[in-house]
Structure 1
């Protein structure tokens, strides 16, 4: 049985963690990006599909290219963040299943079924995006996940050489500036949105 995490760890990952709109000047090292991936890759996906494809936006040129694809509200966040991450989804993830799920012919489940692949890629890359957020928080970093961008523009700018990959969502990454967060928004208690059947 897995040992329960401490309250301090649960606070770091969930209860006191926040989505940040700005960051301090403390840099994020390439080794931090590798460390995030090395944690998030262990999160479960259906049949170990792992359809997420991440682009870690660190150069000024890449930040500007990404900012040009986003809303006026989000562009400055991307330009100022140490790193932004595009969480993409590969609709041809099934090509890797012989390696990632080798004990059965899982690739055959998806061959010739683009609709099923699209649904599975969206669902499981979103899961992986959540694992990205949790991994970053567990390693002492902060995130600012966002919509508010043009998927078509992002795909053309960053995934033109891999047409089976499309953008899902974006997140900034760094060491959060406490002055950039809003007042804590409400979270409903169990009874409001849950049913035990």
Structure 2
């Protein structure tokens, strides 16, 4: 069982940062981050998420014009922005990832709606695992919508069969960028037990 400190780190005290301290994130830490995040479960181990770590100034400059105005400055100062994508034809890897059922791929071949919903759902899970792993490694996160998905795909994923799901800034958050913690729904507002 995790300690109270760990629950605070992962969820209770974790915040979405809007500003970043000028501290780099080493490439080795990004590899460690992925090695942890990839272990989170997905349906039939389909693992559709694809991660592009935008770290260089040149790559960041390509990304900034594709963002909603409110996301530009926080991304400009972030050491890393992760483009969390979903492989549209993830099922091609299923013989490798789900070998106990060699025909699993056929469930998705020719069924665009099932393939798209499965890729979106599971890449969202994998993006959340990435954020939890980042927090566990001492990084802060700033997940974002508010970008031109088609433009991000054209700029960073041209020729790849990957759809953008969401973006997430990573680094060491600037506490001065935080605002008052926003409310959450109570159990009875968000949950039912049947």
| TM-score normalised according to structure 2 size | 0.98
Q: Note the residue ranges of structure 1 that are not aligned, 5 or more in a row.
A: none
2:108 to 107, 110, 116: 110
Match of 1:44 in 2: 41
Which of 117, 121, 124 in structure 2 is aligned with 1:123? 121
How far apart are residue 189 of structure 1 and its match? Answer: 2.2
Paired positions, count: 193
C-alpha offsets along residues 55-92 of structure 1, whole Å, 9 cap, x if unaligned? 00001111011111101111111111101000011010
Q: Distance in 2 between matches of 1:190 and 1:152?
A: 37
Residue 143 of structure 2 aligns to a residue whose secondary structure is strand
CA deviation map 1:98-156 (0-9, x unaligned): 00000012111111112211111000000001111101001110010000000010010
Deviation at 1:188, TM superposition (A): 2.1
**Alpha-carbon contact 2:22-2:77 (below 8 Å) kept:** no
Three-state SS of the structure 2 residue aligned to 1:182 is coil
Contact in 1 for aligned 2:60/2:76 (Cα 8 Å): yes
Aligned mates of 1:62, 1:26 — CA distance in 2 = 18
In 2, distance between residues paired with 1:195 and 1:6? Answer: 28
What is the CA RMSD across the aligned residues, in angstroms?
A: 0.8
For residues 146-195 of structure 1, the C-alpha deviation after alignment (integer angstroms, 9 at most, x for no partner) is 00000010010011120x20100001000011000110011122122111
| Cα distance in 2 for residues equivalent to 1:195 and 1:74 | 35
